[in-house]
Amino acid sequence: MSTNISDKRLEAAEDAGQYLTFQLGREEYAVDILRVQEIKGWERATRIPHAPDYVLGVINLRGAIVPIIELRKRFALESIDFGPTTVVIVVKVASPRGERTVGMVVDAVCEVYNVAHADVKAPPEVGSSVDTAFVKGLATVESKMLILLDIDRLINASILDGIGAAA
Amino acid sequence: MSLDLEMEEIHKIFFEESFEGLDVMESSLLNLDVNADRETIARIFRAAHSIKGGAATFGFMEVSNFTHGVETLLDEMRNGTRPVTPDAIQLLLQSVDGLREMVKAVQAKQPIDAQRIALLADEIAQLLARHPGKAAEPPAVAAPAPAASAAAAPEPVAEGANAAPEFLAGGPGWVIDFQPHRDMLKTNNEPLRMFAELERLGALNVIADASAVPALAELQPDACHLRWRLELAGAIEKRAIEEVFDWVDANCSISYQHYAGTGAAPAAPPVAAAPVAVEAAAAPAAATAVSAPPPEAVAVPAAGAAAAAAPKGASGGGDAGSIRVSTTKVDHLINLVGELVITQSMLSRFADGCSPAELEKLREGLTQLTRNTRELQESVMQIRMLPISFAFNRFPRLVHDLSRKLGKKVELKLSGEGTELDKTVLEKISDPLVHLVRNALDHGLEKPEARVAAGKPETGTIELAAFHEGGNIIIEVKDDGGGLNRAKILKRARERGLVADDAELSDDQIHNLIFAAGFSTADTISDVSGRGVGMDVVRRNIQDLGGVVQISSTEGAGSTIRIRLPLTLAILDGQLVRVGAHTYVISLVAIVETIQAQKDRLNAVPGGAELFRLRDEYIPVVRLYEMFGVEPDSRAIEDGLLVVVEAEGRRFGVLVDDLLAQQQVVIKTLETNYRQVAGVAGATILGDGTVALIVDVPGLVQVFNESFTGGQTLAA
C-alpha cells in the first residue's frame, strides 16, 4: 500500500468510516476496514462439489477452512488470469450462525480511506455491474468514485446462494 | 453484572452435583430392592439432604420443599420407624424422576411441572400420614392434604379450564400445546412424523403458531421456531399420546388438556377447583416455609455449607483425585494438538530436501517430535474419554420398570462397562441405546409362558456389551427372544412398497429393512414401541456419529444389534484417494476392501446405474468423479480402483484413480464459514498444507440413489 499522506486517510473520526478499497475491472470498491481480517496472496483452493462457479473452493488459513470467492465471477465480469497483483482479501462477516471468514479474490488492493458518513450518497437505481442490494452507497474521494459494498449481505448471499439450486 | 456471572457459576456446580446426587439415589434405590441395608438407605438420605440444603440456599424453594418430603420418608426408613416396602421404593424412584425434571427445569429457567410435583408430594404425604413416623414438619404435611381432599378426584390430567375447541364437536378429545425447543430438529426428530402418528389415534387439527419465527436474515434453518396447538378428537389414553412424543420429551415443552366430551360445562367447576386447590396448597406450603425461616435460616446455610463441603470431600477423597474441567478447555487443547500433528507432518516432508549431514540430525529430531506428538495426542484424547458405564447406568432402572410393566421376566447383563469413549459420542449414543433395549424387551423377548412353551428358560436375558476393536468401540445389544420374523418383515415391506413383490432378498437385507422410516411389524402398538418412528432415528443418530449399526438375528433364538463407533469425533482414520488432481479422504471405518476392477464384471441396468459383480453379489458402482464433478485420469473402470464401502447395511463400489496413504486426519467442518455440502462430511488439512475433502459415505450413497430412478432403493 502506498504511503500517500492525505488528510482523509489519517485517524478515523466518529462521523466517518474507514474503508479498504480494491480494484475490480475498471471500478474501485470499498469495504469497511473493520471487516477486513487480512490480505494474502492467491493460492490454489480445493474445489467444492456443486458449488456456484464463483466459489473457487476452500483454503487452509492457519488451520481454518476458509472459502474463496472470485468477485469478478460473482459480479459477472469477465475472468482474467491471476497475476502478481491478484490478492485475496479475507473478511469476517456476521451471519446467522455466528462469524464467517471468507476470502475474496480481487484484481488489486488500493488504499485505505476515511469517508465521512455524510459524504456517502445513495446508489443509483441503474447501471452498475453490482446488484444494488449489495451497495451501501457511493463516495467520491480524490475525484474517484468508490462503490461502498455491504459486505455482510454480499458474502452471506453468496454462500447461501445456490442452496435452492443445489438442493 | 459480574456478580450475576459468579452466581451462574455457583448455580452450575449445584446443578451438576444435584444430578450426580439424584443418580446415586436412583442406583441405590434399585439396590434397595434386593438388600435393604442401613448403609444404602443412609446414602440415599444424605444425597436427598444435600439437594434439599443446596436448593434452599439458592432459593429454589419448590425443589427444596419437595425434597423435604422425600427426605422425611427416607429418614423414617433410616431410623427404622418405617419398613422398606417395594411400593415405597417405587414412589421414591418416581420422586427421583420428578426431582430430576424439576432441577432440569430450574436449570433451564423454565417453569416446573407443578402438577406432577404436587401429585407426587400428595402421595408422599399420604404415605407419611399412614405411618406416623417422625413427622418433622407437621404443617408441611397438612398443607398438601387439604389439596388432596379439595380436588374432586385425583385426576392425573388437567381438565381443560377453557371451553372445548370447536373441532372436538362436543366429543372427548385433547388439546396439546406442543412447543419444541430451538434445537429439537437437530436430534433428527421431525414434527410432521409425530403428527402423522397422532392422526392414527384420532382426527387431528393442527394449528401452527409462527409468531416466534424471526426475520429471514436471522433465521437459522435448523432451529425450530414454531409451536403448535394440536386438537385431537377421540377417547384416547393420555399414554398413547405421550408415547408419540417420547423421543423428544427432553427437547420440548408439552401440556395436555383433556376434554371429557358433552357436558364439558358442568365438568368445568369441580375441575377448575383442582388447579385453584393446588395453588392454595402451594400458598400455605410457601407460608409455612416463610414462617419457618428463622429456625431454618440458621440451619439451611449451615446445611448448605455442609452440603457443599461434603460432596467436595466425597469427590476429592473417593476418586483418587479427580478434577472438573470445562469441556471448552479440553476442546481447545484437542484443537491445538491437532494443529501440532499437522505441523509435525509438514516438517517431516521438508526433511526430504536437505544435505546428508544436516539430514541425519534433522531426521532424528523429527522422529522424536513425531513420537512426542503422538503420545501427547493420545493423552489429550484420553481426557475426553469417559467409561460407557455412564450410559449403561440407566438400564437397570429402565429394565426393572419396563419388565414390570410388560409382565416379562428379564435379566440384564452388562459387560465392558469400563470401556471408554468420547464424551460427545457417549451423550449421543444414550438415546439410541435406550430405544434398542426397549425394543428388545417389548418385541424381542416373549412372555414367560411363551418362552416356557418354546423350551426356553422363563427369564429372558438382555445383554449389553461394549469393547474396543481395531480403533473403534463396539456396542452390542443382545437378546435371547424370538428374533426377527423374516416372513413378517418381508410382508410388511411389500405392503409399504419398500420392496418389489418379486424381489429376492437375503436374510441380511430383510433384517435391514427394519431401519426404514415408519417401518413396524408390530401387530399391536404398545405403550413402549411399535410406532415405527424409532429404528430409523436410531440409525441416523449413529450415522451422524460416524458409526454403523448392523443387526443379525435367528428366528426363535434372538437378535444381536451391533453398533460400531469411532473412538472420537475429532479425528478420523482415513484412506486418502486420488481422483484426477484432487485428493479425498474416505473413512477407514466404512471401507471393506479395495480391488482392481475388471471390465467384464461391470453390468449396466435400466435407469443408468452400473452394477459390479463382486464374488457372489452385485454392488452398485459410484463414480466419484461424476459425484463431485471433477476430471479423472480415466473413465474406464479397469484403469482405476474400486473402493468397496459399506453404508446402511449395503455395499457400494466407489471408483477412484488411485489409493494414496492412510493417515489420521483431523476433521474440520465446512459449515463454519461455508455450508453443508451433500456427500461431503468435512474437510481436513493434509501434510502439504492443502485442504482435502472428507467423503460422507452414507450421504454420498443417498445422493447417488437420488440421481437414479427417483430414489428407489436398489435391492440387487
What residues of chain A lie within 8 A of the CB of B669, using their CB?
A: 65
Reading the block at residue A13, the C-alpha cell is 473520526
What residues of chain A lie within 8 A of the CB of B630, using their CB?
A: 47, 49
Is B215 an 8 Å CB contact of chain A?
A: no
CB A90 within 8 A of CB A40: yes
Res B262: pLDDT: 62
pLDDT (mean) for B663-681:
84
Task: Provide the H-helix boundaries in B203-322.
Answer: 238-244, 264-291, 293-318
DSSP-assigned beta bridge partners for residue B16 = none
Q: Which residues of chain A have pLDDT under 70?
A: 1-13, 126-131, 161-167
CB B699 within 8 A of CB B681: yes
What residues of chain B lie within 8 A of the CB of A46, using their CB?
A: 582, 683, 690-693
CB A71 within 8 A of CB A106: yes
DSSP-assigned beta bridge partners for residue B680 = B695
Q: What are the Cα distances from residue B146, in Å, to A134, B123, B274, B281, B365?
A: 67, 13, 11, 7, 80
Q: How far is A59 from chain B (nearest CA, A)?
A: 6
Strand duo B658-666 + B650-656: pairing: unpaired
Query: Where does residue B338 fall: left (phi above 0), alpha (psi -120 to 50 degrees), or beta otherwise?
Result: alpha
Where exactly are the structural domains of chain A? 13-162
Res A37: pLDDT: 94
> Do residue B673 and residue A44 have CB atoms under 8 angstroms apart?
no
Question: What is the 3-class SS of B360-371, one letter each residue?
Answer: HHHHHHHHHHHH
Q: CA nearest A68 in B: which residue?
A: B674
Q: Can you tell me the distance from the alpha carbon of B277 to that of B290, in angstroms, rounded to the nearest whole number?
A: 19
Sign of the C-alpha dihedral computed for residues B586, B588, B590 and B594 taken in this order? positive
CB B472 within 8 A of CB B567: yes
Reading the block at residue A130, the C-alpha cell is 453490482
pLDDT (mean) for B574-595:
92
Q: Can you tell me the distance from the alpha carbon of B578 to that of B657, in angstroms, rounded to the nearest whole number?
A: 6
Is A101 an 8 Å CB contact of chain B?
A: yes
Task: Provide the H-helix boundaries in B58-176.
Answer: 61-78, 86-107, 114-130, 138-142, 144-150
Q: How far is B567 from chain A (nearest CA, A)?
A: 23
Phi, psi of B138 (to 5 degrees): -50, -45
Task: Say how many C-beta atoms besides its own lie within 10 A of residue B403's C-beta.
Answer: 19
Q: CA nearest B217 in A: which residue?
A: A96
Res B527: pLDDT: 53
pLDDT in tens, B496-515: 777 777 777 777 777 777 88
pLDDT (mean) for B102-127:
87
Q: CA nearest B215 in A: which residue?
A: A96
Classified as helix, coil or strand, B559 is strand
Chain B, 110 to 169: residues with Cβ < 8 Å from chain A are none
Mutate to test the interface with B, among A48, A95, A150 (most CBs of B within 10 A): A48
Q: Can you tell me the distance from the alpha carbon of B421 to that of B392, in angstroms, rounded to the nearest whole number?
A: 13
Res B351: pLDDT: 65
* pLDDT of B139 higher than 70: no
pLDDT (mean) for B435-445:
87
pLDDT in tens, B268-308: 333 333 333 333 333 333 333 333 333 333 333 333 333 33
* pLDDT of B193 higher than 90: no
Residue type (1 letter), B688? D
ipTM of the complex: 0.82
Strand duo B173-180 + B227-233: pairing: antiparallel
Task: Say how many C-beta atoms besides its own lie within 10 A of residue B474's C-beta.
Answer: 17
Q: Can you tell me the distance from the alpha carbon of B82 to that of B507, in angstroms, rounded to the nearest whole number?
A: 56
A-B Cβ pairs (cutoff 8 Å, strict) = 81
* pLDDT of B154 higher than 50: no
Reading the block at residue A97, the C-alpha cell is 450462525
Res A84: pLDDT: 73
Give the CB-side neighbour count of residue B16, counting CA atoms within 13 A: 13
pLDDT in tens, B308-341: 333 333 333 334 567 777 777 787 787 778 778 7
Res B251: pLDDT: 75
Mean pLDDT of all residues belonging to chain B: 77
* pLDDT of B441 higher than 70: yes
Closest CA to A52 of B217, B684, B701, B677: B677
Question: What is the 3-class SS of B437-458, one letter each residue?
Answer: HHHHHHHHCCCHHHHHHCCCCC
Reading the block at residue A123, the C-alpha cell is 446508489
Task: Say how many C-beta atoms besides its own lie within 10 A of residue A53's C-beta.
Answer: 10
Is B678 an 8 Å CB contact of chain A?
A: yes
Radius of gyration of chain B (CA): 30
- What are B279-287's contacts with CB under 8 Å, separation 24+? B280/B146, B280/B147, B280/B150, B281/B118, B281/B143, B281/B144, B281/B146, B281/B147, B281/B150, B282/B114, B282/B118, B284/B139, B284/B142, B284/B143, B284/B146, B285/B65, B285/B140, B285/B143, B285/B144, B286/B61
Q: Can you tell me the distance from the alpha carbon of B664 to that of B341, in angstroms, rounded to the nearest whole number?
A: 9
Q: Can you tell me the distance from the alpha carbon of B288 to that of B293, in angstroms, rounded to the nearest whole number?
A: 9
Closest CA to A47 of B690, B653, B673, B636: B690
DSSP-assigned beta bridge partners for residue A39 = A89
Q: Can you tell me the distance from the alpha carbon of A39 to that of B328, in angstroms, rounded to the nearest whole number?
A: 30
pLDDT (mean) for B154-172:
62
The full length of chain A comes to: 167
> Do residue A46 and residue B693 have CB atoms under 8 angstroms apart?
yes
Res B6: pLDDT: 77
Res B162: pLDDT: 64
* pLDDT of B436 higher than 60: yes
Q: Percent of chain B at pLDDT above 90? A: 13
Q: Name residues whose C-beta falls within 8 Å of residue B73's C-beta, 6 or more positions apart in sequence.
A: B82, B88, B91, B92, B124, B127, B128
What residues of chain A lie within 8 A of the CB of B216, using their CB?
A: none
Closest CA to B628 of B699, B571, B715: B699
Query: Where does residue A162 fall: left (phi above 0), alpha (psi -120 to 50 degrees), or beta otherwise?
Result: left
Reading the block at residue B188, the C-alpha cell is 433428527
Q: Can you tell me the distance from the alpha carbon of A76 to that of A90, in angstroms, rounded to the nearest whole number?
A: 21
Res A7: pLDDT: 52
How far is residue B87 CA from its own chain's centroid? 29
DSSP-assigned beta bridge partners for residue A115 = A17
Closest CA to B107 of B19, B178, B186, B23: B19
- From the list B217, B675, B690, the residue facing A60 with the nearest CB is B690
pTM score, two decimals? 0.53
Is B581 an 8 Å CB contact of chain A?
A: no
The full length of chain B comes to: 716
Res A165: pLDDT: 33
Q: How far is A144 from chain B (nearest CA, A)?
A: 33
Is A57 an 8 Å CB contact of chain B?
A: yes
Q: Name residues whose C-beta falls within 8 Å of residue B499's C-beta, 6 or more positions apart in sequence.
A: B490, B493, B505, B513, B715
Q: Percent of chain B at pLDDT above 70? A: 80
pLDDT in tens, B39-77: 888 889 889 988 988 888 888 888 888 898 898 888 888
**Confidence class of residue B605 from pLDDT cuts 50, 70 and 90?**
confident
**Fold assignment, A13-162:** OB fold (Dihydrolipoamide Acetyltransferase, E2P) (2.40.50)
Closest CA to A67 of B632, B628, B667, B668: B668
pLDDT in tens, B525-555: 555 555 555 788 888 888 878 788 888 888 8
Q: Which residue has the cell 403458531?
A: B209
- From the list B335, B338, B627, the residue facing A49 with the nearest CB is B627
Closest CA to A65 of B235, B160, B674, B335: B674
Q: CA nearest B219 in A: which residue?
A: A96
The DSSP element (H or E) to which B643 belongs, if any, is strand B641-647
Q: CA nearest A103 in B: which residue?
A: B673
Return the beta strands (E) in A8-167 as ranges: 16-24, 27-32, 36-41, 55-61, 64-70, 87-95, 98-106, 108-116, 135-141, 144-149
Q: How far is B366 from chain A (nearest CA, A)?
A: 21
Reading the block at residue B614, the C-alpha cell is 463382486
Residue type (1 letter), B424? T
CB A139 within 8 A of CB A30: yes
User: Which range in B9-18, B302-311, B633-642 is most confidently predicted, on average pLDDT?
Assistant: B633-642
Is B683 an 8 Å CB contact of chain A?
A: yes
Give the CB-side neighbour count of residue B327, counting CA atoms within 13 A: 6
